[in-house]
A and B are shown apart, each in its own frame.
Chain A
Amino acid sequence: QKEVEQNSGPLSVPEGAIASLNCTYSDRGSQSFFWYRQYSGKSPELIMFIYSNGDKEDGRFTAQLNKASQYVSLLIRDSQPSDSATYLCAVNGNNFNKFYFGSGTKLNVKP
């Protein structure tokens, strides 16, 4: 059983701070890692994906991957109230066509 684990939160950060969202996965064969943002009542929206160990930056977002520790994280710099949402981590294993989703972390950015 492939598993993707996330802290359900809520994670509360003040506006302007760095929000750090974490995800661990059980399948060492996992190849690709994805972060989605989901606002209440909306469908998931892709933020970014990462394949290689290290950091990948896109605007205020940085994804970090450590395959040895089976750990992927998402950093949000200069957090804004509009970042308040649930963040879903998704992993695909050897079968690139199939995603395994974590349960999501609810982020609350306080003005």
Chain B
Amino acid sequence: SAVISQKPSRDICQRGTSLTIQCQVDSQVTMMFWYRQQPGQSLTLIATANQGSEATYESGFVIDKFPISRPNLTFSTLTVSNMSPEDSSIYLCSVQGQSYEQYFGPGTRLTVT
């Protein structure tokens, strides 16, 4: 399985600011995904990011709030814009394996004050 890293691992941000989360993979992958996991909850897919194309967002998530970049096959970023306390969550990136399984990065724990 791929080795996935995320930066930062955690951050505390003020309301109204933005944070960019980086996801780096040690091998080339076609499909990358961004999820949110709120305390005590399961994972919610934010968007799917393919290299060379616009990200595909799930219902309830918009590009203005969660812009995503996918400049190459090993890297992606998710920005959480104009943050509010409701954005406090763990943000996870994942990559798709050869059998459509997904492997997750360690996550970014975001607290908005």
Chain A positions within 8 Å of B, measured between CB atoms, are 32, 34, 42-46, 49, 88, 90, 92, 96-99, 101-104
A-chain residues with CB within 8 Å of residue B96 when the two chains form the complex? 97
Give complex CA distance A92, B45 in Å. Answer: 13
Please tell me if the beta carbons of A99 and B102 are within 8 angstroms of each other in the complex: yes
Give complex CA distance A43, B105 in Å. Answer: 7
Residue B103 at the chain A interface, CB threshold 8 Å: yes
Which residue of chain B has its CB nearest to the CB of A45? B104
Please tell me if the beta carbons of B100 and A44 are within 8 angstroms of each other in the complex: no
Give complex CA distance A92, B99 in Å. Answer: 12
Which residue of chain A has its CB nearest to the CB of B59? A1
Please tell me if the beta carbons of A103 and B105 are within 8 angstroms of each other in the complex: no
Chain B positions within 8 Å of A, measured between CB atoms, are 1, 31, 33, 41-43, 45, 48, 92, 96, 99-107
A-chain residues with CB within 8 Å of residue B100 when the two chains form the complex? 32, 92, 96-97
Residue in B43, B102, B106 whose beta carbon sits within 8 Å of that of A46 in the complex: B102
A-chain residues with CB within 8 Å of residue B45 when the two chains form the complex? 98-99
Give complex CA distance A104, B42 in Å. Answer: 7
Please tell me if the beta carbons of A46 and B101 are within 8 angstroms of each other in the complex: yes
Whether A43 contacts B48 in the complex (CB less than 8 A), given A32-B100, A99-B102, A103-B42, comes out as no
Give complex CA distance A43, B96 in Å. Answer: 15
A-chain residues with CB within 8 Å of residue B104 when the two chains form the complex? 43-45
User: 25 interchain pairs (CB within 8 A)?
Assistant: A32-B99, A32-B100, A32-B101, A34-B101, A34-B102, A43-B92, A43-B104, A43-B105, A43-B106, A44-B43, A44-B104, A46-B101, A46-B103, A49-B99, A49-B101, A88-B42, A88-B43, A90-B102, A97-B31, A97-B48, A97-B100, A99-B33, A99-B45, A103-B41, A103-B42
B-chain residues with CB within 8 Å of residue A45 when the two chains form the complex? 104
